[in-house]
Amino acid sequence: MATTNLAPTALSASASTGSKAPVPRKKMKSYYPSWFFIPAVALYVIFFAIPTFASFYFSLTRWDLFSSTYIGFGNFVEFFQDPQLLNGFIHTFEYGFATSAAKVIIGFLLAVILTSPVVARGYLRAVIFFPVLISTIGVGIMFKSLLDPFHGIVNAVLGVFGLPQPGWFTDPSLALASIAAVDVWKGVGIATLIFMAGIVAIPSEYFEAARMDGASSFKILRTITIPLTQPATATVIILSLIGGLRSFDLIWATTGGGPGFTSDVIASVIYKEYQAGFFGLSTAGNVILFIVVTAIMVPLSSFLNRRAVEL
Amino acid sequence: MKRERSIAWTKGVIAIVVSSVVFLVPFIFVILQAAKTPAEASNLTFSWPTHWQFFQNLTDVLNTNNGIIWRAFVNSAVLTVGSVIIMVIFAAMVGYVLSRKASKLNPVINFFVLAGLIVPPAVVPTIWLLQGVGLFKTMPGMILIEATFGLSFCILLFRAFVGTIPRELDEAAVLDGAGPVRLFFGVVLPLLRPVIVTVIVVQSVAVFNDFAGPLYFLPGDENATVQQTLYEFSGQNLSFDNLLFMDILLITIPPLVAYIFFNRQIVAGLTSGAVKG
Amino acid sequence: MFFRRTASRAVAVLGVAALAGIALSGCTASSGGGPAKNAPITFLAGGNDPASIKTANDLVTGFNKVYPKIKVKVDTRPAGTDGDNLIKTRLSTGTMDDVFFYNSGSLFQALHADTTLQPLGNQPWAKTLTKDFKATVSTSKGLYGAPFGSTFDGGVMYNKKVYAQLGLSVPDTWAQFISNSQKIKAAGITPILGSFGDTWTAQLFVLADFANVSAQDPTWAGNYTANKADAKYVNQPALAGFQDTAEVKKLGLLNKDYASLTNVNALKLLATGKAAQYPMITAVIGNVEQSNPDNVNDIGYFAMPTANGNSHATIWEAGGAYIPKTTTGGKLTSAEKFLTFLLSPAGCDIQNEASLPAGPYATSNCTVPANAPALVKDEQAYQDAGKTGLALEFISPVKGPNLSQITVQVESGISTAAQGAALYDQDVKKQAQQLNLPGWN
């Protein structure tokens, strides 16, 4: 739960470093003992693998932590029959893909600006990265005030220009989009950083040669920068999608899934069912989230990494 | 030349203004709110406090509910330090062997590492397990949970970085008579310093700012972490927006300090060897 | 859910939440057996928040003025679900404190009182209790609890000055309520407050209508618990609450910032006469006491109006003080003295000081002080006229967790009253199945 927001670049790198280990020398091998795995494996098995496997069983039960009654696929049926739960399912996709796409595009553009000769680069980088450090709950509370429909500064400014002043978090058709926008605000710093690293790693001769040929900046962007930052793009997509599909904190701090159920996602539904004591149903939600995330991420990451390696 | 320069300047000024408005104004808002009276803060307007009571609010926050925030800071510190130490040591051991020794096991381990990054933890079954082993609602339980959830990411970073350390160093140490344990803890681990700094900072910020974890696995007032204290001020029926924002300000300071000190290392560690084609 | 998660915040401020909580170990220790006189006892407070602890200590201090020889040790316990589990565990393992505070109503029913608690029906104060309260702390075999704290009502809180100024009278039928509201709107004052910044507040049209449902069909709650086909929110009389919820928005009678306004700020608007009516529980009057002390007595109360008039006030009962079966002999005598003290004039004074009464007491031994908020008199009038009924959560364990979100949907026009009611019936089904209630599988 803790990590993913910040989990960056090593993803795509992993594929390459792992595979090109030099010839193993027999003698040295015993100096890299396999028991070094044990502590980590123990933690992983006890606190992660066992609950994950147990969740497959408990999702088929009505459960109160003390006793469980097997009810087959009843919880899953409930999940897909109940309009509010089904909504949460759909919102999860919308939210995950929208935030991920926005982070890729905005993060890339910011990285291009920040790697070009521009004044106060250090300042800009620090400012853009800053929201990454604030707690998500803090960000949620902050924006709830800033985006308050009647007193918030954002609508006050819009009012000065005679623009409409929507209820960002309170209008059912806007709530989810508003949260997604705040999510992008908070997370774009990481994406920018990863893209910057990708751009900096492109050998400068490429740019020089292109400029000699008289290529426009746009053409350089299209034919050099974009293709050669592919690994960075892969990393940003993967990380922001994992985070986006599992997102809970920000939604909980801003709308709590409301108004009504209009900004509920699977993770917030899981929490609400948990809070209500429906542990079997909550766990079924977990299994659904597990399936959704895995079904999207596994093919996507192997596709992206393959492309990255080919380039 | 001159013209190009002035274009660069204009661009720069625009960039500074836009980024300041978008990213700094919200934070300035937090500071202003933190200095207002409760009545004024509840208006939520972006204005200069008519009556500046920053320090009174500060002491109020620190004294609220018998100083719950002190307890929360202690809890968060223990949680963060404990789980990050475990993450660093355990993950470095795995990343190191994974990178150094080719084995048929490696693809399997790599698969589980990625799974750990991708798969959302099963909430209620984890509570069930913690209850079973008597660690539910305990700090040690929470520390182990945070450490587990952070392992995968750390392993990936360590594995990538160990690859950049020449194997000749290992061999030299072995010739000097080092055993496997001394080789790792005495020779390799110190060389991992840059990536350790990255892991520590990144994971400390993540654990410190984690809300959902303690919400599920460490409930109860006496166990509150700093993130939970935000609900102490917004959850009450009487609204104290000024104190709420003061609290946000206070709990932003530790990650901010970490960032200011380690800014350069974080970026270096994150990008070391990674993200290249 | 309503009471525990949401209103409990409001209530916590009043210290009424003190009722909810409970205890730590304690009673196991020592004090040689035999019906000793003045045996020391332990007392589990209603929580571990400062208000609960202070109230508990004040009670003990007052008690010791009358019985200086009986030592009382105060224990505390967490609130919420943790507290529920702790109470059940202590009762089932025989380690409960000699006196403990806990909710009345369906949470009390879950304690299996007949086997775990001492019957108190023969206590001197038993006949002073209201019939509503008795029902919430009794099983078919007897009475098990003494009331602690005042009751409070759900209905409409209104600004008396606005009503007087516009020459309006308190409505009994829904039509009168709407016509009043339209006149208020014409006068440029917000007629009805919505405050979905705190989503729990959206439930009041439904929850506070329940006394009216009971009045029209006294068997409704029983049928509802048993999953009888007619007793559903999609059918009348219960559907009315959802229809009312939808209608106020449709007629444009809500404040324009209904979607973001918070409970506290809504109360300020009501207290200062910028708004006239607010469907609410009266427990929140304590907030007005804090934010607008000069306007507390401008606020009155009337029961949720109904289509045909004869509106009844919906009552949230006081919490209970109980003695476990494991307390016997001298300790039982001491514990009974403690409860008697709780309902004595001195005990009532301490309760009055602990929190501003938001409604009448459940025992005729205690009276609300002269400086009680004006709306308490309005509530008392319903009680004197016998036009009251318990809130559903005190007579049925069945309640869905999502009522607040569903009523927000209905009140903001995202779904219709009928859709909302159907959604809620489905929501409730999950809860009933989880509790394994007969008739739901």
**Average pLDDT across chain C, whole number:** 86
Contacts of A171 in chain C (CB under 8 A): 259
User: CB-based contact (8 Å) between C53 and chain B?
Assistant: no
Where does C98-146 have alpha helices with state H?
Answer: 106-109, 113-116, 131-136
Q: Which of A26-35, B242-251, C224-233, C357-366 has the lowest mean pLDDT?
A: A26-35
Query: How far is C292 from C290, CA to CA, in rounded Å?
Result: 6
Confidence at residue A4, expressed as pLDDT on a 0 to 100 scale: 37
pLDDT at B3 over 80: no
Q: Tell me if C9 and B235 make a contact (CB, 8 A cut-off).
A: yes
pLDDT at B77 over 90: yes
Q: Tell me if C260 and A275 make a contact (CB, 8 A cut-off).
A: no
Q: Among C92, C81, C93, C98, which Cα is nearest to C23's? A: C98
Confidence at residue B271, expressed as pLDDT on a 0 to 100 scale: 60
Per the model's pLDDT, the better-predicted residue between B114 and A92 turns out to be A92
Query: How far is A95 from A101, CA to CA, in rounded Å?
Result: 10
Q: Tell me if B101 and A145 make a contact (CB, 8 A cut-off).
A: no
Min Cα distance C9 → chain B (Å) is 6
Whether residue C17 contacts residue C9, with contact meaning beta carbons closer than 8 Å, is answered with no
Helices and strands counted in chain A (H then E)? 17, 2
pLDDT at C69 over 50: yes
Query: How far is C306 from A283, CA to CA, in rounded Å?
Result: 42
Rg of chain A (C-alpha set): 23
**Per residue in B81-115, is it b (16+ CB within 10 Å) or e — as a string?**
ebbbebbbbbbbbbbbbbbbbbeeebeebbebbbb
Helix (H) or strand (E) segment spanning residue A308? helix A279-310
Say what the ipTM of the complex is: 0.87
Strands (E) in chain A, as ranges, are 61-63, 68-70
Where does the pLDDT of residue C6 fall: very low under 50, low under 70, confident under 90, or very high at 90 and above? very low
Cα separations (Å) of C267 from A144, C275, C289?
21, 9, 10
**Average pLDDT across chain B, whole number:** 86
pLDDT at C9 over 60: no
B94-122 per-position pLDDT tens digit: 999 999 988 888 889 988 998 898 889 99
Q: Which of B124, B202, B216 to mutate to test the interface with A (most CBs of A within 10 A)?
A: B124
Q: Which of A64-68, A87-91, A234-238, B168-172 has the lowest mean pLDDT?
A: A64-68
CB-CB: which of C257, C260, C414 is closest to A260? C414
Confidence at residue A282, expressed as pLDDT on a 0 to 100 scale: 92
Closest-approach residue (CA) in chain B for C47: B221
Confidence at residue C54, expressed as pLDDT on a 0 to 100 scale: 82
Contacts of C265 in chain B (CB under 8 A): 42, 239
Mean pLDDT of A176-193: 94
Confidence at residue C95, expressed as pLDDT on a 0 to 100 scale: 85
Would you list the DSSP string of C178-213?
A: HHHHHHHHHTTSEEE---TTSGGGGGHHHHTTHHHH
The pTM for the full model equals: 0.84
Contacts of B256 in chain A (CB under 8 A): 133
Where does the pLDDT of residue C20 fall: very low under 50, low under 70, confident under 90, or very high at 90 and above? very low
Mean pLDDT of A81-103: 91
Contacts of A258 in chain C (CB under 8 A): 196, 199, 405, 408
Mean pLDDT of C262-285: 92
Per the model's pLDDT, the better-predicted residue between C47 and B183 turns out to be B183
User: CB-based contact (8 Å) between C433 and chain A?
Assistant: yes
Confidence at residue A20, expressed as pLDDT on a 0 to 100 scale: 40
Confidence at residue C36, expressed as pLDDT on a 0 to 100 scale: 67
Only one residue has tokens 């409730």, namely C428
pLDDT at B16 over 90: no
Per the model's pLDDT, the better-predicted residue between A185 and C436 turns out to be A185
pLDDT at A23 over 70: no
Q: By percentage, how much of chain C surpasses pLDDT 90?
A: 54
Mean pLDDT of B214-234: 82
Where does the pLDDT of residue A80 fall: very low under 50, low under 70, confident under 90, or very high at 90 and above? confident
Per the model's pLDDT, the better-predicted residue between B1 and C199 turns out to be C199
Residues in a beta bridge with C153: C315
pLDDT at C7 over 60: no
Q: Which of C4, C8, C9, C257 to mutate to test the interface with B (most CBs of B within 10 A)?
A: C9
pLDDT at C21 over 50: no
Question: How many Cα atoms sit within 13 Å of A122 on the Cβ side?
Answer: 3
